[in-house]
Amino acid sequence: MSKFRVVHYINQYFGQIGGEEKANIPPSCKEGPVGPGMAFKAVLGNEAEIVATVICGDSWFAENMDVAKAKVVEMIAQHKPDLVITGPAFNAGRYGTACGAVAEAVSQELNVPVISGMYPENPGAEMYRRFALIVETGDNAAAMRKAVPAMGKLALKVLRGEEVGSPKEEGYIPRGIRQNYFAEERGSKRAVDMLVAKLKGEEFHTEYPMPQFDRVEPNPAVADITKAKIGLVTSGGIVPKGNPDHIESSSASKFGKYDIEGVTNLTAETHQTAHGGYDPVYANKDADRVLPVDVLREMEKEGKIGSLHRYYYATVGNGTAVASAKRYAAEIAQELKNDGVDAVILTST
C-alpha cells in the first residue's frame, strides 16, 4: 500500500533560510521534509510522507496576500497531496495568518484537508479556524515537541478517514461548527446537574461556552481640557516617510514612537501609512486624516486644549494578535503616564 502524500507549508525561519532579514522572500518549494518536517516524518511513520515543503517569507506573504496564496496553492497542487500541514505557527501573527490563508485556499480550491497548529490568541486561529483543524499549541517554538505529535496524530486520523471527535477530545481549536448528537440524558437533567455541581464548587463543563471579552472601566472625565496635555496613539499605521522602524503591514510585531515637536501638519512628503488592511491612498496623501495633528495644533493655538504631547505612538492593527496589542498598550500607557499626559486620543482606520 502506497503512503499518503503530505505537503508542508512553513515560513522562512522554519525553512532554515533566515530570520526577519529574510522575511521578504517569495514562495519556493523543496522536495521532502524541511526543518520541523523532519519531526513530522517521525510521527507520520510508514503511513504518510511529506513529499514537498513550500516555504515563503512572512512579510512577502502579508504584503502580497492574493499573489502569495495563488503561488503557494499552485506549488502544493503540483504534488497532488492527500493532506496539507501548515505550521505550527504558535503565536507568530504574520506566520499564523499565512498558515490560515493557505489553509483556506487549499481547502476551497483543492478540496484537500488541512492540519495546522497555533496558540489560541494567534489572529490566524480566529480568522481561519473554519478552514483547518488547528491544534492548540503553546505560544512559542519551545512547544514544538508537544505540537508536532498532536498535529501528526490528528493528521493520520484524517488521512485514514476516521471520525474526528470534538475539540475537547482531539485538542483542536473550536471551529464554531455545531453538530447534532444523541445524548444519554435529556437537556433539563444535564442543566440541573451542571447547576448543582456549580453550587457545590465542583468541576463542570458547559455545553455552550461563551466568548470572553475584556471589560474596561472608563476613566473619569478630564477636569479642564483647556489645561490638559493630549497624547496621540494610532493603530492606523501612520509613520514617518520610509517607515524607519519597519512596522509590518499586518500582524505587527512592534510599535513606533515619533517626535512631532514643532510639526503642524503631516504631509505626503513627511509621513505615510504602513497599514496593509485598508486603501492607503488617502492616508498617504494626508496622514492627518488618520492622525489629526493639524486639527490639534489649531486647538492648541486657540487654547481649547493645554498642549499636544511631543511624541505620538503608532502600530498596525491589521491581524495583530490580541496578546501583542495588550503588551503594546501597557508599555505605551506607562510612558504616557510618566510624561504627564492627561488624556489620549486613539485613532484607527
Q: Residue 1 has what pLDDT?
A: 60
What whole-number distance in Å separates Cα of residue 275 and Cα of residue 256?
Answer: 13
* Closest to 84 (Cα-Cα) out of 63, 58, 53: 53
Q: Residue 8 has what pLDDT?
A: 98
CB 233, CB 256: distance < 8 Å = no
Dihedral angle sign, alpha carbons of residues 119, 120, 123, 126: positive
Q: Beta-carbon neighbour count of residue 236 at 10 Å?
A: 26
* Closest to 63 (Cα-Cα) out of 26, 111, 109, 9: 26
Q: Which CATH number fits domain 4-170: 3.40.50.2000, 3.40.80.10, 3.90.550.10, 3.30.420.40?
A: 3.40.50.2000
Rg from Cα positions in the chain: 24
Sites in the chain below the pLDDT cut of 50: none
Residue 116, beta-bridge partner list: 86, 134
Question: Taking the domains of the chain in order of start, what are their residue ranges?
Answer: 4-170, 225-347
* Closest to 13 (Cα-Cα) out of 136, 99, 72: 99
Convert the chain into a string of H (helix), E (strand) and C (coil): CCCEEEEEEEECCCCCCCCHHHCCCCCEEEECCCCCHHHHHHHHCCCEEEEEEEEECHHHHHHCHHHHHHHHHHHHHCCCCCEEEEEEEECCHHHHHHHHHHHHHHHHHHCCCEEEEECCCCHHHHHHHHHCEEEECCCCHHHHHHHHHHHHHHHHHHHCCCCCCCHHHHCECCCCCCCCCCCCCCHHHHHHHHHHHHHHCCCCCCCCCCCCCCCCCCCCCCCCHHHCEEEEEECECEEECCCCCCCCCCCCCCCEEEECCCCCCCCCCCEEECCCCCCCHHHHHCHHHCCCHHHHHHHHHHCCCCEEEEEEEECECCCCCHHHHHHHHHHHHHHHHHCCCCEEEEECC
Q: How far is CA 3 from CA 47, 80, 128, 201, in A?
A: 5, 13, 28, 50
- pLDDT for 91-146, tens place per residue? 888 899 899 999 999 999 999 999 999 998 888 888 899 899 999 999 888 899 99
Q: Are strands 307-314 and 83-90 parallel, antiparallel or unpaired?
A: unpaired
What whole-number distance in Å separates Cα of residue 263 and Cα of residue 335?
Answer: 21
Q: Which residues contact 323 (CB under 8 A, 6 or more apart)?
A: 91, 121, 139
